[in-house]
Amino acid sequence: MNIRNIAIIAHVDHGKTTLVDKIIHATQVFRDNQETGELIMDNNDLERERGITILAKNISVNYKGVKINVIDTPGHADFGGEVERVLKMADGVLLLVDAFEGPMPQTRFVLQKALNLGLHPIVVINKVDKPNCRPDEVHDAVFELFFQLDATEDQLNFPTLYGSSKQGWFNTSLTPTDNINAVLDMILEKVPAPKVNEGTLQMQITSLDYSSFLGRIAIGRVSRGVVAEGQNIQLCKLDGSMVRGKVKELYTFEGMGKKRVTEVSAGDICAVVGIEGFQIGETIADFEQPEALPVIAIDEPTMNMQFSINNSPFFGREGKFVTSRNLRDRLMKELEKNLALRVQDTDDADKFLVYGRGILHLSVLIETMRREGYELTVGQPQVITKEINGQKCEPYEVLVVDVPSDFSGKVIDLVTQRKGEMLIMESKGEMQHLEFDVPSRGLIGLRSQMLTATAGEAVMAHRFSEYKPWKGVIPGRNNGVLIAKQAGSSTGYSLDKLQDRGSFFIDPGEEVYAGMIVAEHIKPGDLNVNVVEGKKLTNMRASGSDAATNIAPKIQMSLEECMEYIQQDECIECTPQSIRLRKILLDENDRVKYAKAMKTS
């Protein structure tokens, strides 16, 4: 069969999407005079802004008469659910590793999934044009990683390519060439054609697409038999039941788009239109003798957050969707394609518990909802605890930090304060490589502190390892906050007088409400302040002459930084145009009563 199915996996920022760009150009998917730009596969606004891949995508290219289906996967462990479901479509993996950094925690996470599925690996050591790169050491480290992950004899005998996606060359040695054909030739040579089992139709749905004309589209790889237009099928549901259906239209992938066909045989990836009510992981099977494929195993979420309607005084000013029904419908829709997410109803109809893989996983969902016109309030992220053998246990992660040697002491100090234990400390040139075992709770809010302590030099990555006994209280934020006493527009006069009390999150002229967090206090403990007081008119000068006040610019925090910053009695108001920090109880007297009640209990 002239088909190869290959997934590209790597740690974030090791160059997956750039390599896919080069494959697209090398196989002339576009006309020579067509304007394509960079990072062609990252077509989602959030992906382009952040420079990361969030959703797995597939394209197909033709090389030497062979059709190669290429699947671009995310590098963040937070989006591991995306990787777990699409690896089922591949027969081989292209493991991309940075020639300086070597295998990182998330490389290990995705590679383990690929090796367990018996996929054939090709290792590509990328960015060999970087100064202080060490391709030979990295090659040894990759071999060691394969060995640790119990790779088979065949998998350990992996071929290796060296090169630079950015400069557009790859070779079996370190000698630069002028093209990336070595990668494509290696795929044809080392990745086997899809195995085709004898028997009736079986196709597992591993992805879904949506079209306003065609409705929901099921995407997957035909693992057995043939699927044809107009064919009657049975949909094997996750609960074991069967639903009858009919294939209305059938598409295969060609270049960046889809091409309509009449039938697709086993081994190819296709898109099926016309099946109602399917979910990812279900099997499209033969009408007469339906047989289901094993369900895709997805790792459990490790963190949850409370999502609720926006109940601040500024409710409904900016968003289109503000009711709890809107919020619930949107979260249920997200569950269809986001396999690592869980949503649970609470006693309060306006609040939902949303479980995810990590802060980035949940923040991408919140950011997407904001852009779609939703208003919501989200609480502090909490880790999910379990009881194992009668003992309370929490998730632990392996934290890897690469930092200049001068700052290593500060990093060790910061992590040990958060109940982390050092596992490895070794030198990599001028950099110090540190590995820690740390509770997931300890990582919340650690990144910003670490970047401050290391002058922005620390490179931090982490991945879930296992559940272990609860480590006790981990110190949170050191400083309190300044809270607005009353509603109105903040004035330069008030902010100027309060500058020595803390660092502000607002500028003069911004509207505030009572209970809104306006600044970080320089001391522990919260303080209620009046930021809307104007200068009184005197017979000496007009109340408007405030030109002489020198106010420091406000602190700009991203959504993830806000999620890591807030404490248990605080929440974030997210609307299409604003992100505001606030206390859950807006009234000052209510907060005092609640604090007293907590002390007595």
Give the homologous superfamily in CATH for domain 303-383. Answer: Elongation Factor G (Translational Gtpase), domain 3 (3.30.70.870)
Q: 481-566 has which CATH code? A: 2.40.50.250
Mean pLDDT of the 516-540 span: 84
| Residue 190 among known ligand-binding residues | no
Residue 419 near residue 413 (C-beta atoms within 8 A): no
pLDDT of residue 369: 92
Tokens of 367: 């950011």
> Which residue carries 């394609």 as its tokens?
337
pLDDT of residue 549: 63
pLDDT of residue 85: 75
pLDDT of residue 35: 46
Same fold, 3-190 and 303-383: no
Residue 575 near residue 369 (C-beta atoms within 8 A): no
Q: Which CATH number does the domain 3-190 belong to among 3.60.20.10, 3.40.50.300, 3.20.20.140, 3.30.1360.30? A: 3.40.50.300
Give 222-263 pLDDT, tens digit per residue: 888 888 888 888 888 888 888 888 888 888 887 767 788 888
| Residue 69 among known ligand-binding residues | no
| Residue 129 among known ligand-binding residues | yes
| Residue 209 among known ligand-binding residues | no
pLDDT of residue 152: 85
3-state helix, strand, coil in the chain (%, to 5): 25, 35, 40
Amino acid making up residue 450? M
| Residue 283 among known ligand-binding residues | no
* 54: pLDDT strictly greater than 70: no
pLDDT of residue 528: 92
Give 205-230 pLDDT, tens digit per residue: 887 777 777 778 888 888 888 888 88
**Where exactly are the structural domains of the chain?**
3-190, 202-286, 303-383, 393-469, 481-566
Mean pLDDT of the 108-120 span: 82
Which is higher by pLDDT, 466 or 537? 466
Task: Enter the pTM of the model.
Answer: 0.79
Give 314-335 pLDDT, tens digit per residue: 988 888 989 999 999 999 888 8
> Which residue carries 């697409």 as its tokens?
209
Q: What is the mean pLDDT of the chain?
A: 83
* SS3 label, residue 435: strand
| Total H helices, total E strands in the chain | 15, 35
Give 26-49 pLDDT, tens digit per residue: 776 554 444 444 444 444 555 555
Give 407-444 pLDDT, tens digit per residue: 889 899 999 988 899 998 888 777 888 899 999 888 88
Q: What would be the CATH architecture of the domain defined by 393-469?
A: 2-Layer Sandwich (3.30)
Assign 357 a pLDDT band (cuts: 50, 70, 90): confident
Does domain 202-286 sit in CATH 2.40.30.10?
Answer: yes
| Residue 126 among known ligand-binding residues | yes
pLDDT of residue 309: 93
Assign 14 a pLDDT band (cuts: 50, 70, 90): low
| Residue 539 among known ligand-binding residues | no
| Residue 428 among known ligand-binding residues | no
